[in-house]
Homo-oligomer: A and B are copies of this chain.
Amino acid sequence: MPAARATLDRLNSASREVFVAALGDLFEHAPWVAEAAFDRRPFATVAELHEAMMQAVLASPRERQVAFLRGHPDLAGKAARAGAIAPASVSEQAGLGLDRLSDAEYETFQRLNGAYLARFGFPFIVCVRRQTRDAVLASYEPRLANDEAAELKRALEEIAHITRLRLVEAVEGPGLPPVAGHLSTHVLDSYHGEPGAGIRVELFEVGASGRARIAEAVTNAGGRTDEPLIHGKPLRRGRYELLFHTEVYFRRRGVALPDVPFIGDAVLRFGIDQPEGRYHVPLVVTPWSTATYRGS
């Protein structure tokens, strides 16, 4: 993606060449999408610009859509390993660790990619920035069960997600389409009737092969973290765990706990389904009880 973002204003008044130079890479190997959008200027918002580009794809004949999809690299494929894919794709796939798979994992992806390509004639496409690795893997099966029309529609929806994220990074301007989610927490100590302050919180992504810590914070005087645990980017669909270091918190406050406390370090497990959603996951805790719910 470009070091400096273009502004929507500039794009609205730029020459066709400049416009296509700025946006031609957003849709993989398909500068014709930017060409088509150029003819529909001006755009009042960045969201409108994105819609115009997607409209160009959706209005094109099925063959052109499929050809466009075929221009995409395999997910976690040889090309990614060999560095032969578009720079944006490289960074997106790397974010999920798809360039660092074990051989067994690589084989799994190869097998699923092969089955998918054989079934639909284009590679499996998913906006990896909106998914955990486990969620990506879990999505092959239901998508393989789709009929061709439904799956073509679904693949283009993923294209919309991918390019919306790329556009927001490439262009400044009013009316940015929503691409970011929000995950926050809050500790309520119902033993003292106060916010739980100074509690270390760890956030883990939970997968079949284990869990990986992806954020860490300490609660402030209000029992919240100064920053949301995740914000400014999509939440990856998948399973998560919050670990609250409540044992040391209660001991520090002088609460007499058993050597092995009933609730020691509180753990909450939850799932995220909406990458652009707002998830608030509070912990209501005493040394003998925990509760959580989807808050707001």
Which A residues fall within an 8 A CB radius of B? Answer: 135, 186, 188, 190-195, 222-223, 237-239, 258-274, 279, 284, 286-296
Contact = CB atoms under 8 A, between A and B. Distances in A.
B271 A193 contact: no
Contacts of A194: 294, 296
B237 A289 contact: no
Given A190-B293, A193-B293, 9 more contacts: A193-B262, A194-B294, A195-B296, A262-B273, A263-B271, A264-B271, A265-B269, A267-B269, A289-B294
A293 B287 CA distance: 9
Nearest to A187: B296
Contacts of A293: 188, 190, 193, 284, 288-290
Nearest to A132: B260
Contact of A287 (B193, B223, B237, B272): B193
A34 to B, nearest CB: 33
Contact of A191 (B191, B258, B259, B268): B191
Contacts of A288: 190-193, 293-294
Contact of A260 (B271, B290, B295): B271
Contacts of A289: 190, 284, 286, 291-294
9 contacts: A193-B293, A239-B264, A258-B274, A263-B271, A266-B269, A286-B289, A289-B293, A289-B294, A290-B291
Contacts of A191: 191, 286, 288
A3 B284 CA distance: 47
A135 to B, nearest CB: 7
Contacts of A295: 188
B290 A261 contact: no
Nearest to A295: B188
A1 to B, nearest CB: 28
A259 B142 CA distance: 11
Task: In the A-B complex, list the 3 residue pairs whose CB atoms are closest, starting with the nearest.
Answer: A193-B288, A289-B293, A258-B273
